[in-house]
Amino acid sequence: MNRIIKAFLFKLKKDLTFRITLIVGLSVAVLMTLINFLIDFSSRDETGIKFAMCNGQNLLLSSLSPIQNFGLAIPINLIAFTVAEFTQGVIRNKIIAGNSKRKVYIGLFLSGLIFTFVIMIAYVLLCFALGSIIGGFDPNGSANTGNIIGDLIGTKITPEFLIRKLIVTVFIYFSITSFTIMIATLFRNVGPSITITLIVLLILNIAGMIILSNGYNAETNSLEGFSKIFAYINPLSTISFSSITSKTVGENTIRVYELSNSLFISNILNNLGFGALWLFAGMEIFNRSDIK
């Protein structure tokens, strides 16, 4: 097993797809910061209303989404990396060398996880660093997600919400990576693999947005009926939907993002479950299939 992982790491180090994805990711991070900075800059007028989007906290939060901006580029490039193993035929060398197909698949999966997390961490850290350098971590004591502040109070991101979001994102990327590698192994072709992966991610996200928003009761700050069940099942629930509660701070009432315990835990568990399921399914598909 060690030799398989070592081989995949060596390839990853030398791989062009990985390097390109990393460079694109870092470029997108710079671009995103620049766009946010320009929005802030252009909104500075005398009415007292201004945006505060270009800051560490906001950019950190927005960079965590696996289905927005650069988030979608990660599975796309991971598919290219995985499919290349088949088109170059190098995956068969590993089997010929006496490694079982299951071990080879696990090696492929682990290298996929490393691919995903190295790029994700690099992208997120750069967004966060640039945002913090330019706009500070939490401007005006009211970290924002692009909401207008000044006369109007924005929606606050609490450290607790941010930490929960970070943890959940790690598990979401785990299940997305597992799903992506299974699809790429099944089709061994970039076109259909990317199409199916994107369709599944977008459908889950859009369905989440519609169903969860409709089922959200703002008065009780809870999901009701089918939307509650759907939230527990859908691995992208915490991406599609965030509940907002109101809190009184001094003379102001501020809005605060909230990720409830039940949604936080269920989203971790279902992503772990789906990730393990796709890993097992992919491994068995690979084990039973012939390698050309």
Partner 1 sequence: MYIIETNQITKNYGKFVAVDHVDMHIKEGSIYGFVGENGSGKTTIMRLLTGLAELTSGSYTMFGVSNKSSDIYKVRNQTAAIVETASLVPTMTARDNILYAEAYIGVKLTEEQRNNLLALVHLENTGKKKVKNFSLGMRQRLAIALCLINEPKLLLLDEPMNGLDPEGIADLRETLVKLNQEKGITILISSHILSELEKIATDYGFILHGKMLEEISSQELVDKCHKSITLKVDNKDEAIKVLESLKLKNFKEYPNNEFRIYDEITINEIVKALDKAKVAITSLNSNDNNVEDYYLNLIKGGY
> Which parts of this chain interact with partner 1 (CB under 8 A)?
3-4, 6-7, 10-11, 14-16, 88-90, 92-101, 288, 290-292
Closest CA to 221 of 260, 253, 165, 267: 260
Closest CA to 182 of 291, 79, 82, 282: 282
Output the smallest distance, CB 275 to partner 1, in A: 25
Output the smallest distance, CB 254 to partner 1, in A: 52
**CA 92, CA 115: separation in Å to the nearest integer?**
21
Output the smallest distance, CB 132 to partner 1, in A: 36
Closest CA to 52 of 167, 143, 169: 143
Tell me the two tokens of residue 94: 């590993």
Output the smallest distance, CB 110 to partner 1, in A: 14
Question: Which residue number, 96 or 151, has a Cβ lying nearer to partner 1?
Answer: 96
Question: Which residue number, 190 or 209, has a Cβ lying nearer to partner 1?
Answer: 190
Question: Which residue has 């691919």 as its token pair?
Answer: 115
For residue 260, the SS3 value is coil
Question: Which residue number, 3 or 247, has a Cβ lying nearer to partner 1?
Answer: 3
**CA 99, CA 176: separation in Å to the nearest integer?**
26
Question: Which residue number, 48 or 288, has a Cβ lying nearer to partner 1?
Answer: 288
Output the smallest distance, CB 97 to partner 1, in A: 5
Question: Which residue number, 11 or 228, has a Cβ lying nearer to partner 1?
Answer: 11
